[in-house]
Structure 1
């Protein structure tokens, strides 16, 4: 086959716009995934939407029309950043609690594998059954700079991702990524080394954003450059739990891929089944490390 024939066949393989079938296009609506041509593209917070979905979102569609969905199958919300706002609010509120109560509160809920606590006169940690630390450590921070950078990153990258995935899927991604970062830290870090911060979950959002941008055929260079910069900081600065960053990133890529590439007919099963499998791995890692320490 010569190049001209191959080019013609590639062009013929492109679908036609659902409103203008004679116009071939490689762009799809991020809500209903129908092909749309440049004339029908309406810019959205993530990608482009078709005129029908925009009318539905504005409440002007016929009553019988189906409710618009995000690219991952989630429900399109009136406030696409609500969960991101709540997550930022919870992190800030707990940071204020940390500042007002002192180290006692932080030591009770930070991630630590196993350590002697002089104030309590006992050995405490995840190895002693305090598995809640895998979760609570995700909402604690060690300094004003620490929480400032994490919350700016969460707001900047979390909002568009929440709009693309929908609230429930976005929260599932956030918590699974954060728990994966905590589990890898528990496995690889020294057991008496404390760790805390939302970085594992945020790196998961970075990974999922890269997958989403690839899915939408966006320019990958900005997100890759930002990710590389963050990884350089991860491995060059002292007192950074690189294990949490890598664990969150890997989980974010895996879950993010399932979210945006799951076949429509089995979308929910694939998406939440993947989250469940990652959680099983997290539990396995935690059990393995606990056996090693006890």
Structure 2
């Protein structure tokens, strides 16, 4: 017999009772799985490993950081620093050309979202990722959470390419993390919850974005808007039978972001 709040129950009765209890579902329609956070921890691990690779290859002067940070305009790398000259002149002089998105280094729109140089920058972003991932990954599911993170980061990079200085470089997971904040806002609204608990967090992050020194407001704003869009797609098409439509719409949004980057490359 199994102890209960009132008396005892037979094991068969308990099993039958569990079968008849309706399981909670996510906003997207899939069942909630209260497991570990494999995607959150994996994303954190990738960010930390990239940071370690940068630290052991020179830190702020690491060529790895130069290669995977997002910049529109490439530059000529020399032992004494770097300078902007035509690529042909750089190579003819025996120096190394560090490509930008304009040179075809499209991978930077994604790799930059896993790149950190300062330990404080990494620590703040990983703590934020852990907090948001602990809440969102069990609710939206592993694949959806990964999609939210990556596409939000891509949206942040797309605005960086359009609105940042061509010769400047941008790194950090902040765009993807701001996208997760945007997802959180949409989920609160769709669930009919008040945004009051989120307002202090949103206001603080807005202040940091627009008034903090050395902050890429382009990455933050682009990521936040990207998070709003992808969460809106999934919550609008939330039934299980509409999953193909969800992914198709998400793929279309991804292609739109890549097209934005491509157009900027042509115009530059």
State the TM-score, normalizing by the size of structure 2: 0.81
Partner residue in 1 for 2:222: 247
Deviation at 1:89, TM superposition (A): 1.3
List gaps (5 residues or longer) in structure 1. Answer: 1-54
SS in 1 for 2:75: strand
Question: How many positions carry a matched residue from both structures?
Answer: 235
- Select between 163-172 and 74-83 the one with higher mean Cα deviation: 74-83
Say if 2:250 is the partner of 1:275: yes
SS in 2 for 1:220: coil
* 1:72-123 superposed Cα distances (whole Å, 9 cap, x missing partner): 1345445242211111111111111111112111011111111313234326
Distance 2:111 2:98 in 1: 19
- Select between 70-79 and 240-249 the one with higher mean Cα deviation: 70-79
Distance 2:107 2:214 in 1: 23
Deviation at 1:154, TM superposition (A): 0.6
Where relative contact order (Cα < 8 A, 6+ residues apart) is larger, the structure is 2
- Asked whether the 8 Å contact 1:213–1:219 carries over to 2, the reply is yes
Partner residue in 2 for 1:6: none
- Asked whether the 8 Å contact 1:203–1:248 carries over to 2, the reply is yes
Deviation at 1:266, TM superposition (A): 4.9
Say if 2:105 is the partner of 1:146: no
Say if 2:64 is the partner of 1:89: no
Deviation at 1:61, TM superposition (A): 3.3
Partner residue in 2 for 1:259: 234
Partner residue in 2 for 1:23: none
Distance 2:197 2:26 in 1: 23
Partner residue in 2 for 1:28: none
- Asked whether the 8 Å contact 1:135–1:179 carries over to 2, the reply is yes
- Asked whether the 8 Å contact 2:34–2:138 carries over to 1, the reply is no
Query: Which residue, out of 61, 65, 68, partners 2:19?
Result: 61
Alignment of 1:160-175 (within 5 A): 160-175=135-150
List gaps (5 residues or longer) in structure 2. Answer: 1-13, 79-94
Change in 2 beyond 3 A, CA 1:239/1:123: same
Distance 2:197 2:136 in 1: 15
- Asked whether the 8 Å contact 1:114–1:123 carries over to 2, the reply is no
Distance 2:185 2:155 in 1: 18
Provide the alpha-carbon RMSD of the alignment.
2.3
Distance 2:192 2:98 in 1: 51
Distance 1:237 1:76 in 2: 38
Partner residue in 2 for 1:222: 197
SS in 1 for 2:139: helix
SS in 2 for 1:118: strand
SS in 2 for 1:71: coil
- Asked whether the 8 Å contact 1:181–1:201 carries over to 2, the reply is yes
Distance 2:31 2:170 in 1: 35
State the TM-score, normalizing by the size of structure 1: 0.74
Say if 2:55 is the partner of 1:99: yes
